[in-house]
């Protein structure tokens, strides 16, 4: 009984969401790490995510314009860490990167993006880097496997990332389908899984992956016009949060 109580308490701490900060135009989810530090996730658009951690700024796949949505990165602080999964225009935007970067920004991308941008650290699938005492990143595979789709995201080129921040494990899958390597992804607290056929996953594939990796919290993202409203009811026990990641 004591063990169960501790587990439930840990889950409650993880999934506690605070009120949206004033004057923030984006949906914000707030979590506490194991030592009580604060992580804030701002749902910018599509695959663009802003994370705040103890005064540090983390940007994922920043893109200034997606369809009718424009993100004003000039109004945001410079990034301490900036991650790019691959070179497609809805993930890789040179102007957004320049706007968010200064001399202190650690820019981490796949090899192709480093070549195209002319700067940054290239990570390959399977590599792991300690960025700070309480912050590590692991690059994991992201690719298509369905016949007729493999040209979109070929195996070995693109990255997903697992960020471990003060013990909290965050899986940002990038553009991928339900690949075999996901069987080895464990102990995920927060997962961002793409749902936008034919480029990434169907809703059925997202549900399958979530059941495989069992994150405590799931954010479907990169979903475009795909109807993701059916996903939560198929994943009892997982806190599925639908935000504006069209």
**How far apart are alpha carbons 237 and 219 in whole angstroms?**
14
Of residues 17 and 140, which shows the higher confidence score? 140
Whether residue 4 has pLDDT greater than 70 = no
Instruction: Give domain status of residue 123, yes or no.
Output: yes
Whether the Cβ atoms of residue 29 and residue 20 lie closer than 8 Å to each other? no
Domain residues for 100?
28-240
Q: Decide if 102 is inside a domain.
A: yes
Number of compact structural domains in the chain:
1
Closest CA to 137 of 160, 114, 158: 160
**For residue 229, with 0-12 CB atoms within 10 Å meaning exposed, 13-18 middle and 19 or more buried, which class applies?**
exposed
Q: Which two tokens stand for residue 130?
A: 């300690």
Model pLDDT, residue 22: 52
- CATH code of residue 117: 3.60.15.10
**Interval 88-137: pLDDT, tens:** 999 999 999 999 999 999 999 999 999 999 999 999 999 999 999 999 99
Span 132-162, pLDDT tens digits = 999 999 999 999 999 999 999 999 999 999 9
Query: Whole-model pTM?
Result: 0.92
pLDDT band at residue 30 using 50, 70 and 90 as cut-offs: very high
Could you tell me the two tokens for 95? 């102007």
176 within some domain:
yes
DSSP state of 79: P
Query: What's the half-sphere exposure (Cβ side, CA atoms, 13 Å) at 157?
Result: 16
- From the list 129, 150, 149, the residue with the least C-alpha distance to 138 is 129
User: DSSP secondary-structure letter at 23?
Assistant: T
Q: Is residue 7 part of a domain?
A: no
Q: Could you tell me which residues come within 8 angstroms of residue 82 by beta carbon, excluding any fewer than 6 positions away?
A: 58, 59, 62, 97, 100, 101, 105, 106, 107, 108
- Domain assignment of residue 109, yes or no: yes
- For residue range 178-207, list pLDDT tens digits in order: 999 999 999 999 999 999 989 999 999 999
């Amino acid at each position: 009984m004591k063990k169960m109580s501790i587990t439930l308490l840990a889950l409650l701490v993880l999934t506690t969401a605070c009120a949206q900060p004033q004057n923030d135009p984006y949906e914000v989810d707030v979590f506490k790490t194991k030592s009580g530090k604060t992580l804030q996730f701002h749902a910018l658009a599509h695959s663009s995510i802003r994370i705040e951690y103890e005064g540090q700024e983390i940007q994922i796949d920043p893109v200034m314009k997606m369809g009718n949505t424009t993100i004003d990165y000039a109004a945001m602080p410079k990034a301490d860490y900036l991650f790019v999964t691959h070179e497609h225009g809805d993930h890789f935007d040179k102007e957004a990167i320049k706007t968010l970067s200064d001399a202190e920004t650690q820019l981490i991308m796949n090899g192709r993006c480093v070549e195209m941008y002319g700067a940054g650290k290239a990570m390959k699938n399977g590599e792991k880097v300690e960025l700070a005492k309480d912050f590590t990143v692991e690059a994991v595979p992201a690719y298509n496997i369905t016949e007729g789709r493999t040209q979109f995201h070929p195996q070995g080129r693109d990255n997903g990332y697992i960020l471990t921040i003060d013990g909290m494990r965050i899986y940002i899958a990038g553009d991928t389908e339900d690949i075999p390597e996901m069987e080895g992804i464990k102990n995920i607290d927060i997962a961002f899984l793409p749902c936008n056929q034919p480029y990434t996953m169907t809703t059925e594939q997202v549900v399958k992956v979530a059941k495989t990796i069992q994150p405590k919290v799931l954010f479907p993202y990169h979903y475009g016009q795909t109807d993701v409203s059916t996903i939560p009811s198929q994943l009892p026990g997982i806190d599925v949060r639908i935000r504006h990641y069209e």
